[in-house]
Structure 1
Amino acid sequence: MNRPIRLMTAALAASAALLLTACGSGGGDKDSSDKIEGAGGGGSKASASPSEKPHGAKRPEIKLPAEFEANFAGWTNSDPKLQGVLDDGKEELRAKYAAIIEANPDSDAVAFYDSGASLTTARKWIKGFTDTDDSLIGSIKAYSPKVNVSGKDAAVFFYCVDERKASTKNSKTKKVTATPDTPESVLQYRARLTKSEQGVWQTVSLETVPGGCK
C-alpha cells in the first residue's frame, strides 16, 4: 500500500505539532483484538445513515467490505471519557478507509469525524486514491492507542497502524500493489481532537510518522 504511506506523509505531516506528553498517558487497558463491526459484511458502500451510538450523538453507520478489514487491538479503557475518544478516533479512521473504497472524497462520515485542517488533508488523501482509480484490499491493524484528555473538550491521541498486509487495487486495470514489508509501513498517528457541541470527538489536526512505532 505504497500510496497510503506516501500520501499520509506528504499530506498529513504538515499538520500542527502535537503534545508529545500523550505518549505516556491514558492508553488502552486491554489487549483484546477488536475486529471492526461490518468489516466482513456484504457491500462495498459505506452508509452514512445515522445510528445511535454511545456518548449521546447520532453517528454515521460505517461499513467496510469483506475485501478490506480494519482490526483494532487494545482500543478499550475503563475511563468513559477516554473510551469516548477511542470510539470516535476509531470511527474517524474507518470513515476514511470507507471513503477511499467508495471513491468519495466528500464523504459525510469523514466530515462528521474530521474538521478544520484534518478534514482538508483527509479529503486530499482520499482524492489521491480516487484520482487514480485505486481502492484498498487486505487488512490493517491499529494498536497501542494512547489518549490524554485536557479539560472537558480537548484531547491528544497517538496510535499505531500496521499497513503491511494491505494493498491497493486499481478498479480499472485490477492491478494490485502490495505494501512493502518494511518498518516504514508501520505508522504512528498523532491526532489532536476537540469535543463538538453534539458530544463528538472530532479530529482537528493529524500527522503521521512512517516507522514511528517500534
Structure 2
Amino acid sequence: MRTRTTTAAALLTTATLFLSACGGSSDGSSDKDVIEGADTSTTPSASPTPTAPADGIDRPRVKLPAGDIMVFDPETTGDSRTNAVLRDNAEYLRAIDEAIDDQNPKSEALSFYSKDASYLASVEWVGGFVKDGNTVTGTVRYFDRKVAFSKDGSAGLTYCADESKGFTKDIKTGKVDVTPVSKNSYVFYNERLRKNKAGVWQTTMSSSERGSEVCQP
C-alpha cells in the first residue's frame, strides 16, 4: 500500500508527507502563510498527460511510471470551473507519481501544480521514496471527488482514495511490496487549491484520514 498523508508536526510547521504501510492518522495543515521558496489527480491510463485543455496554458508533460494506473471518478462534471479544479488536482497527483519514478523530488510538474505547504510536503515525501530506492505500481482509484468554492476565491476538494491495489516497488530488484487489503486501504482527503496568475489551480494544503468510514466499500 502507498499513501500520501501528513504528520502531526505539520500542525505546528508545514505539512510533511511520509510513507506509511497500512498505518496513518487524521492530520491537517494550513495555507494561510506564504512559505518562502514554495511559490515557484474515469478511465484508467498509464499514458502521458491527456490532451492539454484549450486554455492557453503551457503545461509540463506528465508521464506516469510503467505499470502505474490512476483512476479519477469523476474526471469531469457539467461545470467548467469545477472541471478545471479536478483536472489540475489530478495532474498534481500524477506529478507526484512521476517524480517518484524519476527519483526527482523537485520536478517541474510538482512546483507547477502545487505550492506552499503542499509543495514542500510533496518534495519531502518523494524524497522518502528516493532514499528507500522505491517507486510506485498498481492501481489507485480516486473517487467521490467534490469541489466547493469559497468567497476568497479558493476551492475546497474532498475525495477518497482506494489504495487496495496500489503498492511500492523496489527499483533495483523489481520486487513489489504487496500488502493485505484492510479498512486502512481507503483514505479520505480534504485539500485546498488556489488559482495562480497563470490560471492553474495549485494544491496548497492537504489533510487525510486513513481508514475513514466515508470511503469504505
| TM-score range normalised by the length of the shorter chain | 0.7 to 0.9
Measured in 2, the distance between the counterparts of 1:60 and 1:206 equals: 22
Measured in 2, the distance between the counterparts of 1:201 and 1:56 equals: 14
SS at match of 1:59: coil
Q: CA deviation digits over 1:37-87, x for unaligned, max 9?
A: xx147xxxxx9xxx8534332111111133111111222111111111011
> 5 Å matches for 1:91-106?
91-106=91-106
CA RMSD in angstroms comes to 2.2
TM-score of the superposed pair, with normalisation by structure 2: 0.79
1:35 equivalenced with 2:49 (yes/no) = no
Measured in 1, the distance between the counterparts of 2:162 and 2:56 equals: 31
Measured in 2, the distance between the counterparts of 1:72 and 1:52 equals: 17
Give the Å deviation of 1:185. 1.4
Q: 1:154 to 1:54 in 2, by over 3 A?
A: farther
Give the Å deviation of 1:9. 4.2
> 5 Å matches for 1:1-214?
1=1, 4-5=2-3, 8-10=5-7, 11-12=16-17, 13-16=27-30, 33-36=42-45, 39-40=46-47, 52-151=52-151, 153-212=153-212, 213-214=215-216
List alignment gaps of at least 5 residues for structure 1: 18-32, 42-46
Measured in 2, the distance between the counterparts of 1:159 and 1:70 equals: 14
- Given that 1:75 and 1:143 are in contact with CA atoms closer than 8 Å, whether structure 2 keeps it comes out as no
- Given that 1:57 and 1:198 are in contact with CA atoms closer than 8 Å, whether structure 2 keeps it comes out as yes
Identify the structure with the greater strand proportion: 1
How many pairs were matched up? 187
Q: 1:63 to 1:189 in 2, by over 3 A?
A: same
Q: 1:116 to 1:9 in 2, by over 3 A?
A: closer
Q: 1:197 to 1:102 in 2, by over 3 A?
A: same
Q: 1:151 to 1:58 in 2, by over 3 A?
A: farther
- Given that 1:116 and 1:205 are in contact with CA atoms closer than 8 Å, whether structure 2 keeps it comes out as yes
Q: CA deviation digits over 1:135-180, x for unaligned, max 9?
A: 1111111111010012473100011111110111111233321233
Give the Å deviation of 1:14. 4.1
Q: CA deviation digits over 1:103-127, x for unaligned, max 9?
A: 1101110110010011010111111
- Given that 1:115 and 1:202 are in contact with CA atoms closer than 8 Å, whether structure 2 keeps it comes out as yes
Identity of aligned residues (%): 35
Matched letter for residue 34 of structure 1: T
Matched letter for residue 143 of structure 2: Y
- Given that 2:65 and 2:136 are in contact with CA atoms closer than 8 Å, whether structure 1 keeps it comes out as no
Measured in 1, the distance between the counterparts of 2:28 and 2:179 equals: 23
SS at match of 1:56: coil
